[in-house]
Amino acid sequence: MKIAITGAAGQISYALIPLLLERFKFPIELSLIDLEEKVGQLRGLEMEIEDFCFPQVKNVASGSDEKTLFKGADVAIFLGAKPRGPGMERGDLITTNAATFYRQGKILADVANPNVKAIVVGNPANTNALMLIRGGEYRLKNQIQALMRLDQNRAKSALNLAAKQREEVFVFGNHSPTIFVHEATSEVTEFVRKRGAEVIKARGVSSQASAAKAIVDHLEDWMSKDERRYSAALYSEKNPYGVDEDLVFSFPYSNKKGILKLPLSQQEKEMLLITEDEMKKERKIACTILFSN
Ligand code: NAD
């Protein structure tokens, strides 16, 4: 299985690769992609992967040439995104990344395995995933998901901490402070909404090890031969919740049955509208740049 990773010189990637190789024991080829100026660091990472001595790793390639490195990819993990820098508006962050993901979407749809599964992690993850779908002219619309598993894991951990253990927990909407947890108290939803910022405040950098673990959890469930139910941000076409049909929105999902229809309370229906509205605004900003030149 060929796994391509963008932003591979970054911190999530550094935590992700050993976890991925500990969990998946089938033959793996890795394609590590980052910006031209990071190619030296990628070579260092390649050396460390060789030194892991995982027998299932059949090949490691790295560089910045996306057409070559996405070629034949069975799985693509998109970590590479420009972070918000000093003085940068959220709108600038959205448009810069939208252009990157739109371009990569075309390449992915042209050269990857036609059955590729792609996970978008780089923020704003949901809107970046939508741009990836649009860049590939919707050819991969049902094969691109944005990571919500970290939010789901955070919700599960909040419930455990409150001694309200639950087998299944789902999150709805955007990977942002408008997200909400299904059938949970406002305390649990607030915990999930604020957790990313709390980690940044404490560590000085964003969640990396827990994001890496969430990516592996997501991928394992998505690829499982058995039915698995989890939260994923999916292309919203024909969704049963009445959400705008051209977004990448977090729903409860079954890898065998698609989006699951669960009952929502009146308050949850209201929160759904708020997070949907935020995503429509992000889409509008992202598209302003793409279609204005
Ligand atoms: P990082 O800054 O350590 O690494 C990002 C890497 O992406 C860098 O090496 C950079 O050079 C590269 N990059 C930037 N633009 C690129 C492009 N166009 N093509 C290829 N590579 C590119 O960041 P990190 O901590 O690894 O986080 C990666 C992303 O994941 C960030 O956007 C972060 O906000 C996001 N994130 C998402 C979640 C989630 O749950 N969805 C959770 C945590 C972090």
Give DSSP secondary structure letters for 152-189.
HHHHHHHHHHTT---S---EEB-SSTT-EETT--HHHH
- Residue 175 CA: nearest ligand 1 atom is 41
| pLDDT at residue 293 tops 50 | no
Mean pLDDT of the chain: 95
- Distant-in-sequence contacts of 161-166, Cβ < 8 A, 24+ apart: 162/187, 162/188
- What pLDDT sits at residue 292? 56
* Mean pLDDT in residue range 138-156: 98
- What pLDDT sits at residue 76? 98
191 DSSP 8-state letter: H
Angle between helices 149-161 and 186-203 (to 10 degrees): 110
Q: Which domains does the chain have, with CATH numbers?
A: 2-146 (3.40.50.720), 149-292 (3.90.110.10)
Ligand 1 and 199: CB distance under 6 A = no
Q: What is the pTM of this model?
A: 0.97
Residues of the chain with pLDDT > 70, as a percent, come to 98
Active site residues: 175
Residues of the chain with pLDDT > 90, as a percent, come to 88
- What pLDDT sits at residue 166? 83
- What pLDDT sits at residue 289? 66
Q: For 27-44, write each residue's pLDDT tens digit.
A: 999 999 999 999 999 999
- What pLDDT sits at residue 92? 81
Rounded to the nearest whole angstrom, what is the distance from the C-alpha of residue 91 to the centroid of ligand 1? 17
- Residue 121 CA: nearest ligand 1 atom is 41
Amino acid at 84: R
Q: Exposure pattern of 32-68 as b/e (b: 16+ CB <10 Å)?
A: bbbeeebbebbeebbeebeeeebeebeebbbbeebee
Tell me which of 34, 70, 147, 219 to substitute to probe ligand 1's pocket, judged by most ligand atoms within 8 Å of the beta carbon: 34
Q: For 212-246, write each residue's pLDDT tens digit.
A: 999 999 999 999 999 999 999 999 999 999 999 99
Rounded to the nearest whole angstrom, what is the distance from the C-alpha of residue 64 to the centroid of ligand 1? 15
* Mean pLDDT in residue range 137-141: 97
More confident residue, 258 or 166: 258
> ω before 124 within 30° of 0 (cis)?
yes
| pLDDT at residue 258 tops 90 | yes
Strand partners, 111: none
Ligand 1 and 127: CB distance under 6 A = no
* pLDDT band with cut points at 50, 70 and 90 for residue 291: low
Task: Tell which phi-psi region holds residue 183, choosing left (phi > 0), alpha (psi between -120 and 50) or beta.
Answer: left
> Of 15-24, 88-97, 242-251, which range is least confident?
88-97
Q: For 190-203, write each residue's pLDDT tens digit.
A: 999 999 999 999 99
- What pLDDT sits at residue 290? 66
Nearest CA to ligand 1 atom 23: 10
Of 126, 159, 157, 162, give the one whose Cα is nearest residue 144: 126
Q: Is 7 helix (H, G, I), strand (E, B) or coil?
A: coil
| pLDDT at residue 276 tops 60 | yes
| pLDDT at residue 250 tops 80 | yes
Of 106, 174, 173, 98, give the one whose Cα is nearest residue 140: 106
